[in-house]
A and B are shown apart, each in its own frame.
Chain A
Amino acid sequence: MAQGSSVKLDDYREVAPRGAVDFLLRIGERLRGRRLVHVSASRYAGPVVETLNRLVPILNDLGVDTSWEVTIGGADFDTVTRSVGRALAGTEQVITEGMLGRLRDTCADNARRLRLDADLVVVHDAGPLLVVESRGSAGRWVWAHHGDLSSAQTQVWSALRPSAQRYDAAVFSLPKFAGPLSIPRFVIHPSVDPLSDRNREMTRGEQMLQLDRLHVLRDKPILLQVGPFDRMGDALGVVNAYRLVKKHHDVRLVLAGPPPTPGGGDALGEVQETASRDPDLSVIVLPPDPQAELNALERAAAVVVHKPLETDFGIDVAAAMWKGKPVIGSAAGGIPFQIPQGVTGYVVETVEGAAFRIRHLLNNPELIGRMGAAGREHVRRHFLLTRHLASYLALLAHLTG
């Protein structure tokens, strides 16, 4: 199985829609020799990083000279970046002039240090946003904001908006996430990489090994939610839905998520307390970079639940659908966009709604298979890395002529 940076574009022929790879080769030919630079605030965590890890080598394979630059700063820079990110996502934060000044200075330092001479510079998210202040006249600049900017904290957005306006275009994950900007705005949905450890095919033995390591029993149908153990993740809501289901079906609930982050509003203790009284409820705090673990968990699940109260695009939904699982999702962020109602899963508004839909699926096992298959096809068409790659190439072609 192809893994890591050794993956070639041709490896995607087996999983991508027919013609997709040829289309990429054709458009790549046209853009051969152009230079593209991605700039992000981290190289280690998050969906953007996962995507860039794979996109950058493939773009180079296609002949597009692509590099990935990472901004660096002190510990306080990281703190400011996180706070600004949360403020832009709509969570009230205290952002002082001093903090914005620190952000500005660090971005200016990075602009001097980084190699940003390119036909197209794509700056990802809020951390490096202000690097654009030092842009030259050559090349086009795009700001790709992956979260929801529609309810950004006014004071912070007012301070950053003039800088955002200095870009030639902005990219958002969904139309409803777009911020008010007078520059051209494009929509590029996130994607799942079908050949990554998280999503690649897995042998039964490998799957069992991972589940054993996580102490997940397989004697009953498994309901799974993957998400942070904070208030917004609504793990307790999922537990309540599970309890309603449990009255009628003998199932297990597995809640898996990363360790709580500072300031994230920890609900882990409460969930663990609840789990300690129920042998069919497992709470798994995932290790760092839990790609294979998540792959095994999603493959073992009968139904995947993704019921956060707030989220960004929520690409985990597509990741579960790629494994042929129906998904019960909340009407938050990009989740409804990924689940055609009643076709690949259900979008629900309440705990009761989630329980009702889970019961409906468990009562109709053939529906689980049918929805799972439809979900995989839906992801193949709309949320695979190859489509993401095509979008970036189209952006490069469109903006650089």
Chain B
Amino acid sequence: MSGVDPFVFLGCLELRELLDFEAHDVRELGEQLERVPPESVFCHMAAVLMHRSALTETYPNDFALWVGSEVRDARLAERLAAVDPFQSDSMERVREELVSTIGDHLRHLSAAPRRAWVRRSGSSGRISWPSRPGTRRGRSASFATPSPRWTRACSSTTSSTGAIARGMGEATSSSGSTARLESHELAERLAHIDPGVGSLERIRDRHLRVLTEALEREAR
């Protein structure tokens, strides 16, 4: 999470005082939320409590805003945005709801498919960008919140397209289902598809073409 502007807790409404609490990731946000004075929770929920924001498209509280823009975890940002202080009878209850939302999110994060997708990179916020065989590694991109559609696509296929998306680099299709089918010729043809050339759609097309030809040959 280096490079992320920390969430700095503020003290009061009209005059914003910087408090000695900072959160650099979601886990710290949850921890610090338990420690800050209730006035700070109020301050960061104030857009909703005092003057409903004129911009309805933006997240209504600072926590959701920070998680959305800095951590780039849209799922948690949406959940934090849904915390309605008017439904709670005190700031302590608002705090509890925020903390439990974050805790719940972190607990379920490891079970979510996208987590497995990210784990391969060895860091929570970055994955390795697929590299062509023989090219130098190290290009990386931040993918904190892959779209669910994309994640499903990755987890439901063992094709090289999926492998690319999982950051594995070289295609594994030949050693996957085709190897199990004992179709070594097909495995070899699939292995020759260069995952580094063209878009993912193009790569899929090439896979489909090879598979279709194999099926047609088999039918003959």
Contacts and interface: CB of A to CB of B under 8 A. Distances in A.
Interface of A: 17, 172, 175-176, 178, 184-188, 336, 340-344, 374, 377-378, 380-381, 390-391, 394-395, 398
Given A175-B8, A175-B10, A341-B69, A184 B17 contact: yes
Interface stretch (B48-56, B177-185, B188-196): B48-56
B5 A377 contact: no
A184 B14 CA distance: 15
Nearest to A395: B15
A188 B10 CA distance: 12
A352 to B, nearest CB: 14
A340 B15 contact: no
Interface residues of B, number: 16
A378 B54 CA distance: 7
Given A175-B10, A176-B6, A378-B55, 19 more contacts: A172-B18, A176-B5, A176-B8, A178-B18, A184-B17, A186-B15, A186-B16, A186-B18, A187-B16, A336-B69, A342-B57, A343-B55, A343-B57, A377-B55, A378-B54, A381-B51, A381-B53, A394-B14, A398-B15
Interface of B: 5-6, 8, 10, 14-18, 51, 53-55, 57-58, 69
Nearest to B10: A187
A345 to B, nearest CB: 12
A17 B52 CA distance: 12
Contact of A340 (B6, B16, B55): B55
15 contacts: A178-B8, A185-B17, A186-B15, A186-B17, A188-B15, A336-B69, A340-B57, A341-B69, A342-B57, A374-B54, A374-B55, A378-B54, A378-B55, A380-B54, A391-B15
A186 B17 CA distance: 4
Nearest to B5: A176
A377 B52 CA distance: 12
A122 to B, nearest CB: 13
Nearest to B3: A331
B73 to A, nearest CB: 14
B14 A340 contact: no
Nearest to A186: B17
Contacts of B58: 340, 343
